[in-house]
Amino acid sequence: MDDRITIILNDALDAIAGAGDIAGLDAVRIAALGRKGSITLLMKGLGALDPQARRQAGQALNAAKNDLQSAIDRRKEELERQRLEARLEAERIDVTLPERPELPGTVHPVSQATDEIIAILADMGFTVAEGPDIEDDWFNFGALNMPEEHPARQEHDTFYLLPVVGETRPVLRTHTSPVQIRHMLENSPPIRIIAPGRTYRSDSDLTHTPMFHQVEGLVIDRAIHMGHLKGCLRQFVEAFFGVDDVPMRFRPSYFPFTSPSMEVDIGCSFSGNRLTIGEGAGWMEILGSGMVHPRVLANGGVDPEAWQGFAFGLGIDRLAMLKYAIPDLRGFFDADVRWLRHYGFRPHDVPTLYGGLTP
């Protein structure tokens, strides 16, 4: 009996070792341990033996069965590992193939620059106001101390729309300054607003487009003076360009709606097509500003004896061109996707003061 067990066991162990796959291994298991397997059949024959021999043979058979089972388990594990290895090998890919395209979209430089400007000025307590593009002549000119015959009007190259009988001729706003009047008429001082938006002048050449963008600023309070205006603009310029000690030039100028009036230039240099802020001998005009004219305050329903303040108008397109070295204004409005993708911004690059204005 023992010899037969040993022979069966050794044959089965050999077969297990030789099994090439799970199915072959399973066949070995069935041949030895299945219902009609060789070990199973010997177990069934135990009843015919005498108790002494039966116990002995039973123990031997159980031991053989356990040996076989664990040999089968080990072999199965090994075969499975081999099968996985073969599968992984077969599943190998060419990792240098291009990934599926996810076309990134872009935010226009005018929008990005506007968000940057708002981020800075919001921190100084400005809120954002709005006004219409099609303006009443009075809001665009008259209320801003530019009556019909005023020579300054000629410089505005105004677009006109057909007048409605009995009403004043509508214009496309030539600047964002009419928002000053609209806001003052609807709100009481103290006032601290900016108003970004589209503006229009009948002018088209290398450096002018008939539409462009401005941000108006207006601060009205009891004791706001030109020192505040200069300080506000310097802090703004340094934050916007991310450069300390930008050379700035405050030039007296003239706007009918401010007195005193000043234009502000920043130092820059041109090299080929590129422009660098804060270096070199060149100056670039970026904004007009001044203390709000008493007549403008009065036209806005604000008592000029009790209140005073400053206003400024920044060219957004020009600021974006300067900061991001964009050479040609006309590209801004052409919607060439190459231009948009080159000069545009990723949507997640939201300008903030804490996370940085510039991506």
Subset of residues 149 to 208 that bind other proteins, contact rule: CB under 8 A: 149-152, 154-155, 159-162, 164, 170, 172, 190, 198, 200, 202, 204
**Among positions 123, 186, 303, 328, the unique one binding other proteins when judged by CB under 8 A:** 123
Q: How far is the CB of 178 from other proteins (least distance, A)?
A: 13
Among the listed residues 327, 351, 353, 326, the one whose alpha carbon sits nearest the alpha carbon of residue 113: 351
Interface positions, 125-144, toward other proteins (CB under 8 A): 125-128, 130, 132-134
Nearer CB in complex with other proteins: 254/270: 254
Q: How far is the CB of 11 from other proteins (least distance, A)?
A: 52
| CB-based contact 267:246 (threshold 8 Å) | yes
DSSP SS3 for 308: strand
Nearer CB in complex with other proteins: 76/153: 153
Interface positions, 237-266, toward other proteins (CB under 8 A): 249-254, 256, 259-263
DSSP SS3 for 344: coil
Q: What distances in angstroms separate CA 27 from CA 16, 114, 165, one per listed residue? A: 9, 76, 102
Nearer CB in complex with other proteins: 38/308: 308
- Identify the helix (H) or strand (E) that includes residue 251: strand 248-255
Nearer CB in complex with other proteins: 38/177: 177
**Among positions 234, 246, 276, 282, the unique one binding other proteins when judged by CB under 8 A:** 234
| CB-based contact 266:234 (threshold 8 Å) | no
For the chain, the straight-line distance linking the first and the last C-alpha, in angstroms and rounded, comes to: 85
What is d(CA 119, CA 126) in angstroms, rounded to the nearest whole number? 10
Interface positions, 264-303, toward other proteins (CB under 8 A): 291, 293-295
Among the listed residues 248, 155, 139, 243, the one whose alpha carbon sits nearest the alpha carbon of residue 195: 139
Angle at 241 between CA 236 and CA 245, to 5 degrees: 75
| CB-based contact 296:144 (threshold 8 Å) | yes
Q: How far is the CB of 98 from other proteins (least distance, A)?
A: 7
Q: How far is the CB of 315 from other proteins (least distance, A)?
A: 14
Q: How far is the CB of 128 from other proteins (least distance, A)?
A: 5
**Among positions 1, 54, 58, 228, the unique one binding other proteins when judged by CB under 8 A:** 228
